[in-house]
Every structure is written in structure tokens, then in C-alpha cells.
Structure 1
């Protein structure tokens, strides 16, 4: 789960200010932050969904890697053997290279489009349920404002740990939306995940080709 395959920037005014009382000012509401992207990926449902996507696109990712290796090998052949090849052989290899590059680009774009569509479906499904929980939590706990907590998408120079609601909302989401335990055989050779580490954004299945100039 490293190119970001979804974009979900949310800015919520999640709670309603208390009704004004005659002669009094409304009490100040609390402010919180929520990294919505990390929260979605950290839920049990999110981990399972993106893990399933990774498995679904494994074969297409491998096919793209194989195509890229074939292109690189042909580029190397043209570069190293350029002077030894006849003009006819050079033209044939260049046509072959162009065909492979065209096929690779088409397969790459198709895979990216399909992966993005599947990823967006997961994000929208989980995000809609998470937003409802955040709205409920904010009103019950006196929050006047809950902001996006990812500094890469919203410039925040300091956030006190006490107002970061990401882990709390992940817990509440998992309680409201339990996921069946995975019964598959665990990979005992894999090292345990580091504590308090959020899962990364699902990776795109598309390798980036290395461009080389034609001889």
C-alpha cells in the first residue's frame, strides 16, 4: 500500500456552536485534527481491502516489470552493438523497440486507471462511514472544528498530540465495522510490524520505465 493512487482532503466544521444565551458568549469549542488518509488505511477494513488489491494486481505488476526488462535489454543491445549492426537490422530492432514501448505504455495506463478506480472505491466506501463517525464524535465531545492533520496536504506548523484524533477514530471505526479474522497461513518469516507505525499508502502496480535515447 508508493505513489498516492487516492486524494481525499477534508476540512470539517463537525460540531454546531452552542446556542447563544442572552447576555452570554458561547463557550469555546475544542479543535482537533484527523489524518483521514492514514485513518482509512489503518482501519481493519482498509488493511484488508488494500491487501486484496495488492494481490489482485500482482500479476499485472509482474507483467509490466517483465515488459520493462525486455525494453531495457533491447535498448542495451542497440546501444552496445550499434556499429556492428547493419542498417536493416538496426531498423528492425528500432521498430521492435517502438512496438514494445507502445504496448508497455498502453498496459501501464490501463493498469493505473483500473487500480485508481478500485482504490477510489475503497476510499469512498470507508471514508463515508468514517465521516459519519467523526461527525458523531465531534458533537458528543464538544469539538467546534476538526481539521485535516496531514501537513503535506494542509500546512500545519504544530499539532499537539492530544488533539490528534486519528487513532481514536480508527478504533471507533473498527468497533463499528469489524472485519473477520484472516484465516490464511501467516508468513512466519516476515518480521513483526513496528509499534505505532501507520500502514503506507497502497502502491501503484506500475513500474516506471528507464528512458534511454535512441542511437
Structure 2
């Protein structure tokens, strides 16, 4: 509700400021622009190279846990009580360690992703600003702000991706 009220106020201000001029409004999906640009593809490749060994190690741990679980089920009757309890404690410890490793892995991936995306987001904002000014837009809105309808040609995401790719090829 607050977003809708805020958007209504913004549109009112924009429209009143340009009462005699035809407003030109565009929308852009910044996340899609980043992901589909050459910059975003480079980040994805870098992240995969950096974290793939950790991912494989986590998958190996999960396979070991599954194997231990199967052994516990199959040998449960044959083992003495004390040996069974030792195996169950080892199993619970491995699960706990694996869960801790997963949480740490996800945090590292998230932190690295944020670190690598920040400079690109700054470029995206600069490109959107330049694009808006050079193409006479009154306002360009990020499309995740609950846009219910937009006419064809209002979404400028592809143009932003093209501009970003040109910037990347120019070495900037």
C-alpha cells in the first residue's frame, strides 16, 4: 500500500513537472540487465570456477553421510548397543558438520557475489542515467516495483544490456 501511494506521488510530481511536455516513461529489470550482460556472464564464470571445488567437496560429504546412514540401517541389528550408539553419534556429528559447511559455503558465495556485483551495479546505474538522458526519458523505473502493466516498447532492459556490452567491449 505504501509503495502504491509512493508511486502515485512520484507520478503526480513527474506529470505536474512536465505538464506541457509528453512524459516518456521506461522500465528496466536491473537484475536481468546484470545477468544478461557480458559483465554478469563474466561474474558467473568466475564464481563457478572459484566455488566449484567447494561444491564438489560438499557433494562428497553428502554422499559419505548417505553411505553411513545406509550402513547404520543395515547393521543396526547386528551391532552391539555401545557400537550402535557410537555410530549414531558419528552420524549425527557428520550431519551437523555438513550443515555447518553448507551454511558457511552459502555465506561465502553470497559475500563474493555482492562484492563482485557492486561495481557492475554502479555501471548499470550510470548507463541507465545516460540512456535516459540521451533518449529523452522523464523517468525510468526498476521493474520489480510491482509494475502491473507496461506497454510494448517501455521496457528498456535489452537496450541497457546492449549499452553495458558496448562499455565492456570498450574496456571500461
* TM > 0.5 fold call: yes
Q: Which runs of 5+ in 2 are unaligned?
A: 1-6
The 3-state SS of whatever aligns with 2:149 is coil
Q: Which runs of 5+ in 1 are unaligned?
A: 1-10, 181-215
- Aligned twin of 1:4: none
The 3-state SS of whatever aligns with 1:143 is coil
Q: CA deviation at 1:81?
A: 3.1
- Aligned twin of 1:124: 118
* TM-align CA RMSD: 2.6
2-structure distance, mates of 1:101, 1:64: 11
Spell out the pairing of 1:1-215 with structure 2 (5 A cutoff): 25-149=19-143, 153-178=144-169
Count residues in correspondence.
161
1-structure distance, mates of 2:94, 2:19: 70
| Richer in helix (by share) | 2
Q: Which has the larger radius of gyration?
A: 2
2-structure distance, mates of 1:138, 1:130: 12
2-structure distance, mates of 1:18, 1:138: 16
Measured against aligned partners, the alpha-carbon deviations of 1:97-147 in whole angstroms (never above 9, x if no partner) come to 122112212221221111111111122110101101101211222222222
The TM-score, its normalising length taken from structure 1, stands at 0.67
The 3-state SS of whatever aligns with 1:32 is strand
